[in-house]
Structure formats: C-alpha cells, structure tokens
Amino acid sequence: MIKDTVGAFVPHGLFRIEGASGGPLEGLTFAAKDLFDVAGHPTSGGNPTWLATHPVPDVSSPIVDALLDAGATLVGKTITDELAYSLHGDNMHYGAPLNAAAPDRVTGGSSSGSVAAVAAHLVDFALGTDTGGSTRVPASYCGVWGLRTTHGALSGAGLVPLHRLYDTPTWFAHDADTFACVGDVLMPASDHAPSRAVLLRDVAALADPVFSAPLGRVVAALEQMFGAVTPLDIAEGQQLADWRAAYGTSGGHEGWQLHGDWITQNKPVFAPAIAARWKAASEISDEAGADARAKAAAVRAHVRSVVGVDTVAVLPSAASLAPLRNADPAEVDAVRLRTMAITCVAGIAGLPQVSMPFLSAEGVPVGISLMGPAGSDAALIRLAVKIHASVQGT
C-alpha cells in the first residue's frame, strides 16, 4: 500500500491493481482522480453523499483499462474537489492535499490529489480531468507536467461529468519521459507539424509578472525553432472576461441539467464556494444558457481559425503562483476569475494545451503552456518536451 505522506488519497481509495506484464508502461505506478470508475471500487466524485447514493461500478473507465493493459499498476484513487467544481484544491470532506513543491501553498484543483501524489513522487503519473483548468492550473502550482487533451479525443465513459461541453480526461507526470510515454499509450498518433508560433499577448497580460521570465525563455526557444514568434491578441478587441463568462454560464447551465435533480433530491453538503456555484447554476435560464453556448461556439470557431492546422501558441498556464493555504477567500476568488480567463481559451476551443514546469526566481513552481490545433496532442507533447529541454539547457 502507498504511504500517503501528502493526504492525496481518499479513504475508500487505497488499493492496488497490477498492470499487465510486458507493456510499455510496465514498472510504472499511477493513481486515478476519484471521478474515474474502477471496477469493484466506489467513486465519490469528492462528496460523501455521491458515494452513498451511487452503486459501486462493475466496469472501469476505458482509460484506466488502457493503462492497466499497457502495464502500469494502479495504486488507488485521489481526492478531487467536489464534482470537480473548483480550482483551489481544498475538499471540506476529504481534506486539502499537501503541495510538496511549495508546502505553504495549495495544490490547486480540482485534480488536487492526483497532482499532489505526482509532485510528492508517490506515483509516476496520475489521471486527472480538466474542464475549466483542473489539470493545467494544478500542474503550474505544483511544478509537474500536465495537459488538457483535445476535447473528445479520450473517452468520457466511466467518468463523473461536470460540464460535458468542456470535460477532458488528462494526466500528470513528474518527468518529461513518463509524461510522453503515457501520451504514446493514450493519444492517437499525430502527424501535425507546427510551422508557426504565436504569443497570446492579451492572455499573458492577465498573469502576474512572475511568469514573464519563463515565458520569455520559452518564446526564445520557439524563435530558434520557428523564427519570429508573432505576438497577437487572441480576443481581437473582445474581453477575455466575457469569454470566461460564456464558459461559466454555458457550463453551469449544462451542469445543472446533469446534476440538478440529484442535488435537489439528496441535498448534499457542499463547501460554501461550491454550493454557491451550484445555486448560481440552478438559476441560469434556458435562454441564457443557449445565448452563452452560441457565444462560446463563436469563440471556438475564432480561436480554431487563428490556430489553424500548423500553429503553436504560447501562454501562461495560470494567472499566479499557487495561493497560500491561509489566503483570504476573496483573494482566492479574484485569482480564480483571472486564471479562468486564461484557461477558457483552450477550454472553449476544445484544443490541447501542455503545461511545462518551471521555477520562479524564488524557487516556486510556475507553468508555461503550449496550445496547438485539435488532434495535435501527440505532436504537441513531443514539441513541449523538446522546448523544455532546450530552455533547461539539457
């Protein structure tokens, strides 16, 4: 059994399932966010009432099965913020896992336990999800590799949803080689060959100055590979906060359609911030939801047209360093809103985004991302590994 030194695992999630012998991931261990079904083991979705009102699954997520078939050994299930509806990483029922890379700071969420287990080297990699940033942000906060996959590229079967419009299965790893090996197993081969790089200037402007130095180093590495990196404002005069609002409203409306009856009937206890989000979701009219989906569809088409089939975009993975564990809730929410204006770009567009780990001058983790065309996940991972090695001087 895992010795959980960072509070990453849920109480009902300590078990071991050996991977098949001879596969490409043989010898590696992984954990699964407690949104993924594992046959014979309960799924809580981060909430005890969900745990009590849903049967133990008898079929695993196909992603879990694929990893086991590839030889990786599953060592348990990790904490998630309740129904994945948070970026903070503090579950009132199961705890706030420790960020081994910055113990005075939060891990971020909602994939809090998965990123904590990877950052503490309890496992080689871990499954997470990313709807509004729930992998990219924790990866940035904890100094590990993470990504948002192309929307729809991996199966959502056997996975507790939040907003199916934007949900993506994902993974973290603490080193580039493991990260890439998992990608080779899970992601379809990609023949995308980026020939152009851009800097999302308006997105970068939302991030704190601590991102400037590593962002500049990544841009310099891209210039060595592609020539000039073109700065552009992806929103083209629109407000990224309006894009974030379209994401939040369209996702909230869908989330209530998925879970509203269960919440109304079972009256689960949610943390105050998450309860407030569900209350707001319950009040979104069908008309407002439809308007927000139309806005999001226009944003999606625009971003995809800018990225095309051959462009890689560089941007910060989050708006700030990980907040301190004792930060004022109002400050935390302000950071969350600014961060989601960054993460909603790939989220709405359904594009892949890899977060590469760097350190600030003070040694605190900070993530810089590459975003690419839909379906370019495998190629984007290879490029990110190459760029990161170049920046690190290896």
Report the alpha-carbon distance of residue 141 to residue 96 in Å, rounded.
Answer: 14
Kindly state the tokens that stand for 318: 């989050």
Is 33 marked active-site?
yes
- Bridge partners (DSSP) of residue 232 are 200
**Burial status of residue 224 (CB atoms within 10 A of its CB: 0-12, 13-18, 19 or more):** exposed
267 dihedral zone (left: phi>0; alpha: psi -120 to 50; beta): left
Is 190 marked active-site?
no
| List 44, 61, 111, 134, catalytic entry | 134
Order the strands of the 168-173 sheet from edge to edge.
Answer: 73-78, 29-33, 125-130, 168-173, 145-148, 353-359, 365-371, 311-316, 196-200, 229-232
| List 33, 60, 114, 369, catalytic entry | 33
| List 44, 60, 61, 110, catalytic entry | 110
Is 267 marked active-site?
no
Report the alpha-carbon distance of residue 304 to residue 245 in Å, rounded.
Answer: 19
Query: Any idea how long the chain is?
Result: 394
**Contact between residue 124 and residue 29 where contact means Cβ atoms under 8 Å apart:** yes
Radius of gyration of the chain (CA): 19
**Contact between residue 178 and residue 381 where contact means Cβ atoms under 8 Å apart:** no
Residues tagged active-site = 33, 110, 134
